[in-house]
Structure 1
Amino acid sequence: MAEAAFDEVIHAPLRLRICGLLSPVDRLDFAVIRTALGVSDATLSKQLKTLIASGYVASSKAASAGRDDARRITWLSLTPDGRRAFDAHVRALQEIAGLNPK
């Protein structure tokens, strides 16, 4: 288990929620995250750009078998570094709240 470490990149409210949604799964569709957060495509894209640039989230596109058009689904997942950083950040928040003393 990694040591608690507060992470400014993850801590922004929407980025924290994105990581929280991605943490228990292998990957999620962009549209699912957008709907869960209740934000616009542009807002989600901006937050994802920061997480991707930090190496915390990976993005890939794939054709959708359920669609008749050429649109592709954007899949998002936490990278191994992203999972470690998110877990360490959550532990840091727990310590701050007094829920997980050192």
Structure 2
Amino acid sequence: MSGAHLPANWRNRVPTPAVYYAERVHDLGKRNLDGWAQGACPFHEDGNRSLSVHLAGERGHWRCSGPCGGGDMVGFHMRLAGLDFKAAVRDLVRLGPPA
């Protein structure tokens, strides 16, 4: 993917939230009936599984009951990898959807 523009269909080309978070969140539990699962937040010292991630939706929302706030999967990847929005999207597109 070259150039400054992102493909119009980039959201269809990123991993599903279930796949993405399973690989990046330590101690991720099973999702509940609403699609949320809890795990250890990678952004702070977390012995209480204070991170909740939404595995059932397309955006992969997350929230930390500690000091870290929340957002969507792109924002999580931006923060985790230290990337700006476009670089994070490009990185997620390279990871691709599950086969």
For Structure 1 versus Structure 2, the TM-score category normalised by the shorter chain is under 0.3
Bigger radius of gyration: 1
Q: TM-score, normalised by structure 1?
A: 0.27
